[in-house]
C-alpha cells in the first residue's frame, strides 16, 4: 500500500504544524504552504527538510483567484489530506468542495461555541466554566463541519486570556495529531454528515471526546 501524504497550511508560527511533525505520523508531510511569506513555521519546516511554498494572498485580485492558485500548489503534491494549522484565510466554497472529506481544521473553542476569532477572550467574557478546542472537517460555513474530536479544559478563577490560551493550545497539540492519525489509518470516516471514529484517545489532563471506541 502506498504511503499516504499530508499537506499542511499555515499562516504564522505553525505550532500545530510542529505538533503534527513531532507526532511521527505514519504518513509523509509532502509540503508546508503558507499565505504569509514571513510565517515562522516555514523556517521550522525547512529545517526538517520538508518542501515549503508561499502563495501570498496579497498578490491576487480576489479570494477566488487566490484559492485557485493555492489549490494548484497543493495538487502538485497529491495529498491524501490537507490540514489547516493556523491558516488564517476564509476559503471559498469551490476550494472546500475540491477537498471535501479530506480538509481538516483545528479551532480553539468547543464548537459550535465561539466560532471566529478571539475565542479565549470571548469565553472569559461569557463566564463559561469549560473551554477547549475542536478538530473538524471543513465545510463552507466558517468553523463548522463534522466534529472529529474535542478536548475540554476548566476555566480557572482569575484566568487571563494568555493562561487559558496556553492550556487550550497544549490540548490542540495532542488531539490534532490524533485526528490526523485516525484519518491516515482509515479509522476516521464520514457517515451521514458525521465523523465516525474507530479508535481510542486517552488524555488524562483534559476531558477528550471520543474517549474510546472499539
Cα–Cα distance measured from residue 73 to residue 27, given in angstroms and rounded to the nearest whole number: 19
Residues 3, 25: contact at Cβ < 8 Å?
Answer: no
Cα–Cα distance measured from residue 211 to residue 209, given in angstroms and rounded to the nearest whole number: 5
Nearest to 126 by CA among 110, 145, 143: 110
> What is the residue whose three cell numbers read 459550535?
112
Please list the alpha-helical segments (H only) found in 54-205.
63-75, 93-98, 119-126, 161-184
Asked about 173 being catalytic, the answer comes back as: no
Catalytic residue among 57, 77, 107, 173: 107
46 three-state secondary structure = helix
First to last CA, the chain: 24
Q: Catalytic residue positions?
A: 107
Amino acid at each position: 500500500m502506498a504511503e499516504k501524504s499530508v499537506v499542511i497550511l499555515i499562516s504564522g508560527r505553525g505550532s500545530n504544524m510542529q505538533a503534527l511533525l513531532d507526532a511521527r505520523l505514519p504518513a509523509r508531510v509532502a509540503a508546508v504552504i503558507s499565505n504569509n511569506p514571513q510565517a515562522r513555521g516555514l523556517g521550522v519546516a525547512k529545517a526538517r527538510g520538508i518542501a515549503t511554498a508561499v502563495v501570498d494572498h496579497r498578490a491576487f485580485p480576489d479570494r477566488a483567484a487566490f484559492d485557485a492558485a493555492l489549490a494548484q500548489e497543493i495538487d502538485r503534491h497529491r495529498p491524501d489530506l490537507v490540514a489547516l494549522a493556523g491558516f488564517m484565510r476564509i476559503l471559498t466554497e469551490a476550494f472546500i468542495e475540491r477537498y471535501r472529506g479530506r480538509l481538516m481544521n483545528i479551532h480553539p473553542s468547543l464548537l459550535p461555541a465561539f466560532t471566529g476569532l478571539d475565542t479565549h477572550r470571548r469565553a472569559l467574557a461569557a463566564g463559561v466554566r469549560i473551554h477547549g478546542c475542536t478538530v473538524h472537517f471543513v465545510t463552507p460555513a466558517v468553523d463548522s463541519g463534522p466534529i472529529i474530536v474535542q478536548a475540554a479544559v476548566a476555566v480557572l478563577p482569575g484566568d487571563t486570556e494568555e493562561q487559558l490560551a496556553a492550556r487550550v493550545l497544549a490540548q490542540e497539540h495532542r488531539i490534532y495529531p490524533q485526528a490526523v492519525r485516525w484519518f491516515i489509518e482509515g479509522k476516521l470516516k464520514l457517515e451521514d454528515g458525521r465523523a465516525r471514529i474507530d479508535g481510542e484517545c486517552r488524555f488524562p489532563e483534559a476531558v477528550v471526546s471520543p474517549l474510546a471506541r472499539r
